[in-house]
Structure 1
């Protein structure tokens, strides 16, 4: 199997591919090991049943999930999902993502995000992607800024996270903006 057979797209250091049932053990182990990094921002599936339910939801037509894998060793470095996909005049989706602790701070998520943007604006035919980030999540905001997203607004009590309704900043990028960023 070549690198082009394994990944939907790849850059110099990472490749992106879809989630599979075979990824359950590695993904859940990495989620447990990365809990301190993720809290209080996100809660990826850390147990088998939760992963299976997550994988099932990713099969819905309004969702698409990507694993971001380190090409050096094939390990999962992080993940990104495109949710609430709407076509027609809207052609938009909302993304969520997370890095795993062993890959954090190495630029792998930046490279993976750019690959997913290229895929979403190309093969998926989307025009716009949005991300909602809690204002204190500086790493996440830095990631979307590096990718060329623009801040579009503030949504009080937007998402129920970690037991409470949390404020979020709304960031977005269009296909035209991404093309200007070289995506």
Structure 2
């Protein structure tokens, strides 16, 4: 999906109070992105693993050009600086209409509410533009900042899964949090064409 789709989505919700905007990562972002990842190593470890070399970044871009995957940069409207990233992973259609979501702030922008605004925008993009019904966030129990953000934007706790995801060389336990399009105030949308009638 290209940035024109995101621009059209954002144009439908003019809000002068919003401090962030969304766009897809591109090759031109490599230096800024890798610098932010390097400066955020302590903040992200062991919760999230982002590309840290040019080769990994190129593979990252290639992954998120595939159907069923979306990566969105959370950028400051005032300067265009990249404050964080939100990934929509493993989009499943049919009766499920669901995806997993992962998010990370970069260290110099953490704790200022930018990611809460960004994740809320991504939720609306997923429900209104991608026509998803459900987003799931899998969060390690010790990652208090991520849990706090999930609660703040309306996710609900659904359960605990031991050894759910392989991160930083270890199978790690996660709490499962989710939000559906019926839990938030969104613009009415038609069902995705792959959703059965009954």
For normalisation by structure 2, the TM-score amounts to 0.85
Aligned to 2:178: 172
Pairwise CA distance, 1:179: 2.0
Q: Distance in 1 between matches of 2:62 and 2:160?
A: 31
Q: Distance in 1 between matches of 2:158 and 2:6?
A: 36
Which deviations, in whole Å up to 9, do the C-alpha atoms of 1:41-82 show, x marking residues without a partner? 111111111010011000110101100001121100000010
Aligned to 1:83: 89
Partner SS state of residue 183, structure 2: helix
Bigger Rg, which one: 2
Distance change >3 Å, CA 85–CA 6, structure 1 → 2: closer
Q: Distance in 1 between matches of 2:144 and 2:70?
A: 25
Partner SS state of residue 184, structure 2: helix
* 1:22 pairs with 2:28: yes
Which deviations, in whole Å up to 9, do the C-alpha atoms of 1:68-107 show, x marking residues without a partner? 0011211000000100101111100001111000110000
Aligned to 2:190: none
Q: Distance in 2 between matches of 1:85 and 1:6?
A: 17
Gaps of 5+ in 2: 187-198
The total of aligned residue pairs comes to 177
Q: Distance in 2 between matches of 1:5 and 1:143?
A: 26
Partner SS state of residue 50, structure 2: coil
Partner SS state of residue 90, structure 1: coil
Q: How does 1:14-163 map to 2 (within 5 A)?
A: 14-163=20-169
Q: Distance in 1 between matches of 2:135 and 2:5?
A: 27
Q: Distance in 2 between matches of 1:93 and 1:30?
A: 26
Compute the RMSD of aligned alpha carbons. Answer: 1.7
Pairwise CA distance, 1:25: 1.0
Q: Which runs of 4+ in 1 moved over 3 A?
A: 4-8
